[in-house]
Amino acid sequence: MTLNLQEMQCDGPVMWQTSFSDPATTIMEGIITFNTHLTFLLTSIIMFVGWWLFFTIYYYAEFKNMNNSKFVHSKELEIVWTSVPALILLLLSTPSFTLLYSMDEIAAPELTLKILGHQWYWSYEVSDFQTCLKGDTIKYTCYLMLLDGLPENKKGYFRLLETNRRVLLPTNSHLRLLVSAADVLHSWTIPSFGLKVDACPGRLNQLNLFIKRVGVFYGQCSEICGINHGFMPIVIHAFPTLEYHLYVMAKM
Ligand SMILES: [Cu+2]
């Protein structure tokens, strides 16, 4: 596959970024929408409580109220300030759990990608094409790409985010990811996909993925795994399904 940095849509980080990456999956779109609603609710609560606090301090200061109030207890008020926050939490739990369990939903996958975390690189394997590849599997390891000494025409990569090989995946297909580790705990993460799954040695974690658009997506290991934890990035290159199959056929 030829690499043309100018033509490719890069979903890498931008300077002073404070918001999410552009979503590439339905899950991430859901997370962003949920976050927007949460932020609105949070701002409303902070404004309401802030106003109330200011109002109380200002109007009920000692110099404004020389006489003691006889008001010490209210059962009705207590019921209100207990049930309203409980109702708000209940209201929030519905979209939260819906999102959480939708991530575990496994549709019949067209392709399975096995991901193995190592100290300190990721290895990948696709064994769906074993019959057409005459028993062979597509298997490769991805290390951090060193940018020092790159020729002038190869510049434009992200520092500490690029790998020597990119993981190629088809768009608009149901994919299954199987994540594990060979040595210690790692965590496989792509913010644009809304995915983060622990890679535990001796345990296989399953994820589903449906990439909605073409692009290059970046991620990093998200579980402290040793001295080079910060130097094992993940790069996914999502292709149209047809181009992906042409790539597999080229391997035959
Ligand atoms: Cu790590």
Same domain, 93 and 111: no
CA of 12 to the centre of ligand 1 (A): 19
Same domain, 154 and 76: no
| pLDDT tens readout for residues 179-216 | 999 999 999 999 999 989 999 999 999 888 999 988 88
Tokens of 185: 């705990």
Residue 164 within any structural domain of the chain = yes
The answer to whether residues 211 and 169 touch, using CB atoms and an 8 Å cutoff, is yes
Give the span between the Cα atoms of 128 and 125, in whole angstroms: 9
Same domain, 188 and 247: yes
pLDDT over threshold 50, residue 1 = no
Average pLDDT value for the chain: 86
Same domain, 161 and 44: no
Sheet strands (E) in 108-171: 111-118, 121-126, 138-142, 167-170
CA of 231 to the centre of ligand 1 (A): 8
CA of 186 to the centre of ligand 1 (A): 5
CA of 2 to the centre of ligand 1 (A): 29
Same domain, 154 and 72: no
CA of 1 to the centre of ligand 1 (A): 29
CA of 247 to the centre of ligand 1 (A): 30
How distant is the alpha carbon of residue 95 from its chain centre?
17
Q: Which residues contact 57 (CB under 8 A, 6 or more apart)?
A: none
Residue 146 vs residue 177, higher pLDDT: 177
- What is the phi-psi region of residue 190: left when phi exceeds 0, alpha when psi lies from -120 to 50, beta otherwise? beta
Give the span between the Cα atoms of 164 and 248, in whole angstroms: 19
**Helix 26-59 with 75-103: angle, nearest 10 deg:** 160
CA of 125 to the centre of ligand 1 (A): 20
* CATH number of the domain to which 54 belongs: 1.10.287.90
How distant is the alpha carbon of residue 66 from its chain centre?
57
| Structural domain ending residue among the three candidates 54, 72, 103 | 103
| pLDDT tens readout for residues 54-81 | 998 888 887 777 777 777 888 999 999 9
CA of 45 to the centre of ligand 1 (A): 37
Task: State how many domains the chain has.
Answer: 2
| Structural domain ending residue among the three candidates 75, 103, 131 | 103
